[in-house]
A and B are shown apart, each in its own frame.
Chain A
Amino acid sequence: AQSVTQPDIHITVSEGASLELRCNYSYGATPYLFWYVQSPGQGLQLLLKYFSGDTLVQGIKGFEAEFKRSQSSFNLRKPSVHWSDAAEYFCAVGLSGNTPLVFGKGTRLSVIA
């Protein structure tokens, strides 16, 4: 069965510092990969997705992610974090974009001045 691992439960970064959130997946084929963000009391907002093609994908709010097949990873990055980026981040995989997604447990990001 497919699974998603986000090894970091909580990360704290300083405003302006770079960020990398890790995501590893276990899947039989090349999956559809997603990163969602959830602010307190809100639903999930899509940051970016990878289906095929260029392995470096750009998303909203200055985020990017890189698909590395050899490492079964899809890490999320941002060069300079803003205080408004504080939220919970979820990595998800699916057979396609229109099949049920399997989510990681999430990484909570705190941003300090």
Chain B
Amino acid sequence: GAGVSQSPSNKVTEKGKDVELRCDPISGHTALYWYRQSLGQGLEFLIYFQGNSAPDKSGLPSDRFSAERTGGSVSTLTIQRTQQEDSAVYLCASGSRTLGETQYFGPGTRLLVL
């Protein structure tokens, strides 16, 4: 597709369950970012990929959060043993140095932990 896509668009889960959020970046974009948007904290950086490697994981809030990227394309953000404070909108962005050094955002996944 032309833009960044994310799935699912909405996810409701029970406390303690694991969830996987998917991001499909713009074709050819080598950089991929995960951010979290919540009412109290605003937009927070979680993790950054360049290709398949993650040079910056500094924003992951706990070891329950992990992410991977395969084939330099699709990325999955996994949250284990979800807690109510994980409820937020998870945004993915992609970018490329050769295409203007701009991050393009997907529509986000709205996660609600009951």
Contacts and interface: CB of A to CB of B under 8 A. Distances in A.
Nearest to A106: B42
Contacts of A100: 33, 45, 48, 56, 59
Interface in B20-70: 31, 33, 35, 42-45, 48, 56, 59
Give the dominant DSSP class at B's interface.
strand
Nearest to A49: B102
A98 B96 contact: yes
Central interface residue in A36, A96, A99, by most chain B CB within 10 Å? A99
Interface residues of A, number: 24
Given A43-B4, A44-B91, A51 B101 contact: yes
Nearest to B48: A100
Interface string B93-107: 101110011111111
Q: How extensive is the interface on chain B, given as a class?
A: 20 to 34
Nearest to B102: A97
A101 B45 contact: yes
Given A98-B31, A98-B96, A104 B42 contact: yes
B101 A97 contact: yes
A90 B42 CA distance: 10
B104 A103 contact: no
Contacts of A77: none
Interface of B: 4, 31, 33, 35, 42-45, 48, 56, 59, 91, 93, 95-97, 100-108
8 contacts: A43-B91, A51-B101, A97-B103, A98-B95, A99-B56, A100-B56, A103-B43, A105-B42
The 7 closest A-B pairs by CB, nearest first: A97-B101, A103-B43, A43-B105, A44-B105, A100-B45, A43-B107, A105-B42
